């Protein structure tokens, strides 16, 4: 194992094959062994007041942020004030995130016990019916103003802020950006939902106001990604890949500006374009 700046990877030997004309990369059909950096993936069990709630597959870094962000965006607590304690406990084969929450929220949680295991992040996390799955937070505010140029600045800077992705090619990133397009915080994980939960949890734990910036994610914009953005109070989510139909519908209902297909030089705005000023 090697670790730096919260990034954990494993060294493995791999067999690489390469095809091409002789002289470009050596003889055609070359086979060789090399060291690969493989992203760590471990089961992470969430327990509340010593009662098991869910098991997620995740990258074993920024776990306190994960605990707080997941709890808030899933509506398991009303705010960070309802979380009394978070402990990261190594277990055989995985990690436990042991949280203590106030009794009122724990009683509420006990009425909707849900089981889910073995998934790499899940925004719905075992909801028992359609009403639970399609829950809606309070509509977001209308204070954010940014620009097409600012969003492009953030998109072009994203790659340089993802050390785990650079080393393994297996991680999603979620960034918090200023209205001017500066990346102020970023979290990575093998799961896109996990990365966003970690980002939101980190912001809340540091006392930052998520609504003061916008989210940039290296994945598609699914319903649950927009849901988590809205639950944190962020008014805009910028996704490198495509949105889903339900994501667009939810963004319209919750007041979130949804931007997809964000690549250098282009992006598509699907909802509430009035938050975005012209190029400049």
pLDDT digits (tens, 9 = 90+) for 121-144: 554 554 555 555 566 778 999 999
Catalytic residue among 37, 61, 122, 177: 122
Would you place residue 117 in the very low, low, confident or very high pLDDT band (cuts 50, 70, 90)? very low
Would you place residue 3 in the very low, low, confident or very high pLDDT band (cuts 50, 70, 90)? very low
Evaluate if residue 6 carries a pLDDT over 60.
no
Based on the residue annotation, tell me whether 122 is a catalytic residue of this protein. yes
Would you place residue 4 in the very low, low, confident or very high pLDDT band (cuts 50, 70, 90)? very low
**What is the DSSP code (8-state) at residue 27?**
S
**Average of per-residue pLDDT across 37-58:** 95
**What is the DSSP code (8-state) at residue 49?**
T
% pLDDT > 70, the chain: 80
CA dihedral 161, 167, 172, 174 (to 10 degrees): -20
pTM of the model: 0.86
Q: Which helix (H) or strand (E) holds 192?
A: helix 192-206
For residue 273, which of 162, 147, 170 has the smallest C-alpha distance? 147
- How far, in whole angstroms, is CA 132 from its chain's centroid? 21
Ramachandran bin of 29, using left for φ above 0, alpha for ψ from -120 to 50, beta for the remaining angles: left
Evaluate if residue 5 carries a pLDDT over 50.
no
For residue 176, which of 227, 229, 215 has the smallest C-alpha distance? 215
Mean pLDDT for all residues in the chain: 87
% pLDDT > 90, the chain: 75
Domains of the chain: 2-39 (no CATH), 42-133 (3.10.20.10), 146-277 (3.40.140.10)
pLDDT digits (tens, 9 = 90+) for 248-257: 999 999 999 9
Which among 14-23, 25-34, 237-246 has the top mean pLDDT?
237-246
Would you place residue 22 in the very low, low, confident or very high pLDDT band (cuts 50, 70, 90)? very low
Give the whole-angstrom CA distance, residue 251 versus residue 116: 26
Say which range, 53-57, 96-100, 126-130, has the weakest mean pLDDT: 126-130
Residue 48 confidence (pLDDT)? 97
Evaluate if residue 262 carries a pLDDT over 50.
yes
Evaluate if residue 70 carries a pLDDT over 90.
yes
**What is the DSSP code (8-state) at residue 96?**
E
Please compute, for residue 229, the number of CA atoms within 13 A of its CA located in the half-sphere on the CB side: 34
C-alpha dist (Å) from residue 63 to 28, 44, 66, 92, 195 = 45, 9, 5, 17, 11
Residue 143 confidence (pLDDT)? 97
> Residue 73's CB: how many other CB atoms inside 10 A?
24
pLDDT digits (tens, 9 = 90+) for 209-233: 999 999 999 999 999 999 999 999 9
Evaluate if residue 35 carries a pLDDT over 90.
no
Give the whole-angstrom CA distance, residue 199 versus residue 5: 15
């Amino acid at each position: 194992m090697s670790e730096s700046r919260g990034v954990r990877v494993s060294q493995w030997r791999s067999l690489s094959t390469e095809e091409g004309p002789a002289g470009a990369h050596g003889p055609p059909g070359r086979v060789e062994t090399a060291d690969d950096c493989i992203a760590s993936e471990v089961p992470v069990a969430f327990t509340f007041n010593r009662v098991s709630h869910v098991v997620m597959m995740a990258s074993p870094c920024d776990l306190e942020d994960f605990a707080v962000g997941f709890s808030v965006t899933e509506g398991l607590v009303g705010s960070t004030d309802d979380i009394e304690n978070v402990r990261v406990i190594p277990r055989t084969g995985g990690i436990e995130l042991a949280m203590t929450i106030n009794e009122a929220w724990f009683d509420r949680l006990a009425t909707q016990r849900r089981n889910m295991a073995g998934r790499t992040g899940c925004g719905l996390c075992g909801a028992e019916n359609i009403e639970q799955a399609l829950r809606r937070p309070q509509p977001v505010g209308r204070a954010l103003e940014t620009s097409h140029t600012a969003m492009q600045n953030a998109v072009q800077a994203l790659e340089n802020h993802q050390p785990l992705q650079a080393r393994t090619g297996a991680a999603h990133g979620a960034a918090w950006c200023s209205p001017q397009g500066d990346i102020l915080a970023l979290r990575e994980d093998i799961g896109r939902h996990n990365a966003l939960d970690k980002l939101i949890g980190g912001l809340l734990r540091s006392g930052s106001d998520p609504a003061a910036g916008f989210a940039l994610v290296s994945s598609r914009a699914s319903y649950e990604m927009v849901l988590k953005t809205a639950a944190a109070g962020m008014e805009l989510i910028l996704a490198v890949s495509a949105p889903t139909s339900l994501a667009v519908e939810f963004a319209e209902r919750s007041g979130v500006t949804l931007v997809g297909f964000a690549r250098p030089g282009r992006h598509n705005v699907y909802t509430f374009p009035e938050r975005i000023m012209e190029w400049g």
